[in-house]
C-alpha cells in the first residue's frame, strides 16, 4: 500500500514534467549580481540564496537542468551575457526595450514597483519634495538600473549619485551623502529590515516594472524556461516563493 502511494506521488510529480521541454540535465551558468537582497545575496554561510535562486531552481526541476550561480558585477552584466560569458542572467532584471536589443527576456515572473527609501527622520518627505522646483535633495541608486533611469528623470543627472551596488547607495544614504535611494520596493523592504530603525519607505509605487530572466539573443533555452515558468506559475510554486521572500510591510 505504502509502495503504491509512493509510486502514485512519483507519477504525479513526473507527469507534468513529461509534458515539458527537457534540457537533459544541462549545467547552466547563471550570472547574478549577488548584492541585491532578497532577490540574490550571499548568506552568512557563503551560499548564494534568494528569490531568483529559488525560482531558477524550481524551473530547472521542471525542465531538467542544473543551475550554477556565478557572482558577477552588475556593471556590464548584459554585454557579458551577450558575449556568452553566462548561459543566462537571473538578477532581478527589469524588462526594458534597450536591454532587449542585445539580449532576450523570458515572460515576466514578478512585477515590482519603484520606491524611494529615506532616513527615518526624513519620513515626511514626499515625491514632490524630491522633484519639485528648487529642490536640492539628492537621490542615490545602483549604476545601470532602471531605478537610476527613473531617478534621472525625476531629479536630473546632477542630483543623482550612482554606486556599484544598492548596498553602497544605502550606506551613502545612512551617511547623509544622498537624501533618498530610488530602488524596487521589494529590495527596499529588505534593506529597511537590515538597517533596523534607520530607514523608511514612504514613497511607493512610482512605476511598475516587470522582471524577467535574461538569455542570449535567440538562445533556444528561453523557450524551455518560459514553459517551466508557466508550469511553476500553474502549480503554485511561484506564489509560494513570492510569499516566502516578500513579506510586504504596507
Site string for other proteins, 20-59 (x = CB under 8 A): ----------------------------------------
Which sign does the torsion angle of CA 76, 169, 96, 47 carry?
positive
Buried b (16+ CB within 10 A) or exposed e, 87-123: bbbbbbbbbeeebeeebbbbeebbebebbbbbbeebe
Among 85, 164, 219, 227, binds other proteins (CB under 8 A): 164
In this chain, which stretch among 10-18, 107-115, 129-137, 189-197 interacts with other proteins, using CB under 8 A?
189-197
Stretch that binds other proteins, among 48-56, 61-69, 95-103, 106-114 (CB under 8 A): 95-103
φ/ψ (deg, to 5) at 160 = -120, 130
196 touches other proteins (CB under 8 A): yes
**Of 163 and 226, CB closest to other proteins:** 163
Stretch that binds other proteins, among 19-27, 86-94, 99-107, 208-216 (CB under 8 A): 99-107
Binding segment for other proteins (CB under 8 A), chosen from 33-41, 47-55, 172-180, 234-242, is: 172-180
48, 49, 64, 75: which one binds other proteins (CB under 8 A): 75
The DSSP-derived string for 78-104 is: HHHHHTTS-SEE-SSPBP-HHHHHHEE
Question: Of 69 and 74, which CB lies nearer to other proteins in the complex structure?
Answer: 74
The number of CA neighbours under 13 Å toward the Cβ of 102 is 11
Q: Which grid cell sits at 245?
A: 521572500
CA distances from 227 to 27, 57, 110, 163 (A): 18, 14, 16, 36
Interaxial angle between packed helices 51-63 and 221-234, expressed in degrees from 0 to 180 and rounded to the nearest 10? 100
Q: Is residue 102 a contact point for other proteins (CB under 8 A)?
A: yes
Nearest Cα to 149, choosing from 217, 234, 207? 207
Site for other proteins, residues 113 to 152, rule: CB under 8 A: 120-121, 123, 140, 143-144, 148-149
* Interaction site with other proteins (CB under 8 A): 75-76, 78-79, 98-99, 101-102, 120-121, 123, 140, 143-144, 148-149, 161-164, 168-169, 171-172, 174-177, 192-193, 196-200, 247, 249
Amino acid at each position: 500500500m505504502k509502495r503504491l502511494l509512493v509510486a502514485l506521488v512519483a507519477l504525479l510529480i513526473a507527469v507534468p514534467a513529461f509534458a515539458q521541454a527537457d534540457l537533459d540535465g544541462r549545467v547552466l551558468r547563471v550570472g547574478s549580481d549577488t548584492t541585491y537582497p532578497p532577490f540574490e545575496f550571499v548568506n552568512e554561510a557563503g551560499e548564494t540564496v534568494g528569490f531568483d535562486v529559488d525560482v531558477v531552481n524550481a524551473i530547472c526541476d521542471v525542465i531538467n537542468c542544473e543551475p550554477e550561480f556565478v557572482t558577477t558585477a552588475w556593471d556590464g552584466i548584459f554585454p557579458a551575457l551577450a558575449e556568452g560569458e553566462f548561459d543566462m542572467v537571473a538578477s532581478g532584471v527589469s524588462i526594458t526595450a534597450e536591454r532587449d536589443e542585445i539580449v532576450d527576456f523570458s515572460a515576466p515572473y514578478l512585477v515590482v514597483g519603484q520606491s524611494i527609501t529615506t532616513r527615518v527622520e526624513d519620513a515626511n518627505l514626499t515625491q514632490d519634495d524630491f522633484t519639485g522646483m528648487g529642490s536640492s535633495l539628492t537621490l542615490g541608486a545602483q549604476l545601470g538600473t532602471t531605478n537610476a533611469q527613473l531617478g534621472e528623470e525625476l531629479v536630473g543627472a546632477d542630483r543623482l549619485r550612482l554606486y556599484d551596488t544598492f548596498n553602497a547607495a544605502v550606506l551613502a544614504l545612512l551617511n547623509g551623502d544622498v537624501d533618498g535611494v530610488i530602488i524596487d520596493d521589494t529590495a527596499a523592504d529588505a534593506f529597511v529590515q537590515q538597517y533596523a530603525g534607520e530607514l523608511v519607505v514612504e514613497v511607493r509605487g512610482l512605476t511598475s516594472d516587470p522582471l524577467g530572466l535574461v538569455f542570449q539573443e535567440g538562445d533556444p533555452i528561453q523557450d524551455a524556461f518560459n514553459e517551466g515558468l508557466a508550469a511553476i506559475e500553474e502549480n503554485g510554486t511561484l506564489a509560494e516563493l513570492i510569499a516566502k521572500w516578500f513579506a510586504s510591510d504596507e
